[in-house]
Structure 1
Amino acid sequence: MKALLLRDLKLAFRSGGGFGLGLAFFLIVAVLVPFGVGPENDLLAKIAAGVLWLGALLACLLSLDRIFALDWEDGSLDLLATSPLPLEAVCGVKALAHWLTTGLPLTLAAPVLGLLLSLPETGYVWLVTSLALGTPALSVIGCFGAALTVGIKRGGLLLSLLVLPLYVPTLIFGAEVARRGTEGLAVSGPLALLAGISLAVIAVLPFVSALVLRINLR
């Protein structure tokens, strides 16, 4: 598992997907929003949490089709399916690699980009907390979507259409945690729901993704 994780991390850095692309998109969103809505600090402060969460979600989408695509193209996926490592573990490692190269960098970059959107000081901790809890769910759900569309030529658009509806609950509760934290309101309710969503998809979806991969590989 460790060797597979290191291999996927190297591929993510070398092939131009994931890490740099997601961060660049996240930065572009944070820079362009003030041009679109105006430079008023009060308005930006109100929408900052939601904009940053939406930017992180869309940035995660950019590299989802690469989770299994490279392995499919060079035949490695067939070898992984017949290796002693269970396919469920392979899917879990793939999702972890995606989060380490996409979700984690986005979480760490969010406070810096919050400055561009005049995010209040009280919101930084809760923004990072919500992203740290929510982005693993985005990666695992994305891994499931990538398993559904593996082998389909130019399946990136289809993958986005399949995954976006599944992302909505995570987006709602993640942005709500950040918004309530910014306004000084209680965050225990949406925070618990966000954590529950992440734990549920991490526990269930690797098995579903492995099942879908076995069907697609037949």
Structure 2
Amino acid sequence: MWALFLRDLRLAIRAGGGFGLGLAFFLIVTTLVPFGVGPEGGVLAVIAPGILWVGALLACLLSLDRIFALDHEDGSLELLATSPLPLEAVAVMKALAHWITTGLPLILAAPLFGVLLHLPWPGHLWLVVSLAVGTPALSVLGTFGAAITVGLKRGGLLLSLLVLPLYIPTLIFGAEVVRRVLAGTDHMVALALEAGITLGALALVPFAAAAALRVNLR
């Protein structure tokens, strides 16, 4: 399993869908927003939690189509399907590799990008916490979408259409955590709901992804 994980890390970085691409897109979103809504710090501070979460979500989408595509192209996905390693474990390792190369850099860079959007300082810590809790769900759900569309030519748009509705609850509660912290209200309920979504995705989605892979490999 760990050999597969390390291989996926190397493939993600070599394919250009790792650290640099997601961070560059996140930075572009963050720097373009002030041009669109104006440079007023008060306005930017209000919308910063939502903008940062939307940027992180869209950055995660960029590399989803590569999760299984490279393995499908070189035939290694068929070998994995016939190996003693369950496809559920393959899906988990793929999601973990995607999170390490995409989600984790976004989490680490989020406080810096929050400064660009005038996010108040109390929100920086909870922005990192909410992203750390929510981004694993984005990677796991993305693995499911990638399993459905594996083998399809130009399946990137279809993948985005399939996955985006599943991302919405995590986006809502993740941004709500930061907004409630800044408003001085109770934020633990939103954080608990976000964590519940992530745990539910981790428990159920690998089985759905494995089933989708079995159907596509027949």
Query: Scaled by the length of structure 2, what TM-score is found?
Result: 0.99
Residue 184 of structure 1 and its aligned partner are, at CA, apart by 2.1
8 A contact 1:18–1:62 mirrored in 2: no
Residue 182 of structure 1 and its aligned partner are, at CA, apart by 2.1
8 A contact 1:26–1:56 mirrored in 2: yes
2-side partners of 1:148 and 1:58: how far apart? 19
Matched residue type, 1:145: G
8 A contact 1:103–1:135 mirrored in 2: yes
Moved runs in structure 1, 4+ residues, more than 6 A?
Answer: none
Matched residue type, 1:69: A
Find the residue that maps to 2:157 and give its secondary structure.
helix
Find the residue that maps to 2:92 and give its secondary structure.
helix
The correspondence of residues 123-202 of structure 1 with structure 2, limited to 5 A, is 123-202=123-202
2-side partners of 1:35 and 1:158: how far apart? 30
Find the residue that maps to 2:194 and give its secondary structure.
helix
The correspondence of residues 27-66 of structure 1 with structure 2, limited to 5 A, is 27-66=27-66
Matched residue type, 2:81: A
Identity of aligned residues (%): 73
Query: Scaled by the length of structure 1, what TM-score is found?
Result: 0.99
**Residues 40-98 of structure 1, C-alpha deviations (whole Å, 9 max, x = no match):** 00000000010000000000000000000000000000000011111100000000000
Q: Could you list the runs of 5+ residues in structure 1 that have no partner in the other structure?
A: none
2-side partners of 1:15 and 1:130: how far apart? 28
Q: Which residue of 2 aligns with 1:98?
A: 98
Q: Which residue of 2 aligns with 1:23?
A: 23
